[in-house]
C-alpha cells in the first residue's frame, strides 16, 4: 500500500484508524521502506565514489 501514511484525515475516527495502521505497519512496511532507502543510499554513495 503505497502512500498509506499520507492520508487526508477529515473525521476524528480516521485519525485513530490511521495511527492504528501506522502502529501495525511499523514492523513491516516502514521497515521494508527504510531498508530499501538505505540500500539505495549505499548504491548512490558507491556510484558517487566511482565518479
What is the C-alpha to C-alpha distance for residues 41 and 26, in angstroms, rounded to an integer?
21
What is the C-alpha to C-alpha distance for residues 44 and 42, in angstroms, rounded to an integer?
5
Q: What is the pTM of this model?
A: 0.27
pLDDT for 1-41, tens place per residue?
454 445 444 444 455 555 555 555 556 666 666 667 777 77
Q: Are 24 and 4 in contact (CB under 8 A)?
A: no
Amino acid at each position: 500500500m503505497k502512500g498509506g501514511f499520507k492520508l487526508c484525515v477529515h473525521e476524528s475516527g480516521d485519525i485513530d484508524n490511521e495511527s492504528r495502521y501506522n502502529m501495525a505497519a511499523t514492523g513491516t512496511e516502514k521497515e521494508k521502506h527504510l531498508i530499501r532507502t538505505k540500500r539505495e543510499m549505499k548504491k548512490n554513495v558507491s556510484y558517487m565514489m566511482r565518479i
